[in-house]
Amino acid sequence: MSESNQLEIPGVVTLTTGEGGLRKAVIRSPRSSAEIYLHGAHVAAFQRHGEEPLLFMSGSSAFAPDKPIRGGIPIIFPWFGGREGMPAHGFARTAEWELGETTVRVDGTVCLRFALPDGGGFEVGYTVTVGESLGLELSVRNTGDEDADFESCLHTYFLVSGIDGISITGLSDTGYFDKVREVEALETSPYIRIEGEVDRVYSDTAAVVEIEDPGFGRLIRIEKTGSNSTVVWNPWIAKSRSMADFGDEEYLRMVCVESGNVARNKITLAAGERSVMKVEVGSRPLA
């Protein structure tokens, strides 16, 4: 049997060719479906049966070996943001990851385990669990002889019914760096609304964040462990127009709520030490 056949589970996990000729896994569980590209181990879609898709995907996204996918859940590693002469947000999201194992649990939940072939001094594993909710686990181990730093972020793009109708809770009284105004600030609002470009790195927070979307009649819940940073981003009008892989009006239908360890929350691992970040995203009807 070919390797791909060993990883396929009939009716549950299918390996096929997706956009741009990139390989992807198509997953179907009793409660949901998902698509994950090997390019970047990129979760491109997740949808609970009978619900709107949970994740946003730009209609203008590139699907090419040397470009990040615009939407879904890019894996940002080992740095967040720009770095002189290097790709923004690190190299993990444009690397070809290996799918090592697929399993299905008694309740039908599907687990897929990916590995980054070259983690630049780190051993990096990523486990995606597709079921009632979407589980993401990023494991990073320092394979060097010295301390090593890294930043990581699961840069999740959520689909919303309309950006002017949603509110984000869970970050009140949390400090953040406002990348638009380039100032440190304190979140004083229990309900964050998006009324312009928002690009905020909230630090020292392990809080659950929720996105209330009356238009879809749903509440999206983002729980995490091993993560002390939460990033909230919407490009709004001008930045949307400046991105070739993002539609001019697409800012109206998405918001990024990202879970990671970035900036002051970057992680330092001793030789051989491992850190694990877990994120679970789910949704339920709004009461």
Q: How far is CA 52 from CA 5, 45, 110, 174, 279, in A?
A: 31, 11, 20, 30, 20
200 near ligand TA6, judged by CB under 6 A? no
24 near ligand TA6, judged by CB under 6 A? no
42 near ligand TA6, judged by CB under 6 A? no
Closest to ligand TA6 by CB, 222 or 231: 231
Token output for 233: 């981003």
Which helix H or strand E contains 204, and what residues bound it? none
Q: Which of 192, 195, 225, 194 is nearest to 207 (CA)?
A: 225
Among 28, 179, 241, 266, binds ligand TA6 (CB under 6 A): 179
- DSSP-derived letter for residue 56 is -
Contact, 46 vs 32, CB < 8 A?
yes
Q: Which residues contact 136 (CB under 8 A, 6 or more apart)?
A: 43, 73, 126, 127, 128, 129, 154, 278, 279, 280, 281
- Of 155, 210, 223, 250, which residue is the catalytic one? 155
**Number of residues lying near ligand TA6 (CB under 6 A):** 11
Pairing outcome for strands 122-130 and 229-234: unpaired
Q: Which residues inside 128-157 make contact with ligand TA6, applying CB under 6 A?
A: 155
Among 79, 126, 176, 233, binds ligand TA6 (CB under 6 A): 233
Closest to ligand TA6 by CB, 6 or 242: 242
Closest to ligand TA6 by CB, 126 or 246: 246
Measured distance CA(21)–CA(39) in Å, rounded: 11
Catalytic residue status for 49: no
Closest to ligand TA6 by CB, 67 or 221: 67
Closest to ligand TA6 by CB, 233 or 251: 233
In whole angstroms, how close is the CB of 113 to ligand TA6 at the nearest point?
25
**Identity of the amino acid at 260:** G
Catalytic residue status for 42: no
Among 8, 199, 250, 280, binds ligand TA6 (CB under 6 A): 199
Site string for ligand TA6, 73-92 (x = CB under 6 A): --------x------xx---
Q: Which of 123, 168, 151 is nearest to 229 (CA)?
A: 151
Measured distance CA(234)–CA(236) in Å, rounded: 6
Q: Which residues inside 241-260 make contact with ligand TA6, applying CB under 6 A?
A: 256, 258
The footprint of ligand TA6 (CB under 6 A) covers: 68, 81, 88-89, 155, 179, 199, 231, 233, 256, 258
Please give the positions annotated as active site.
155, 258
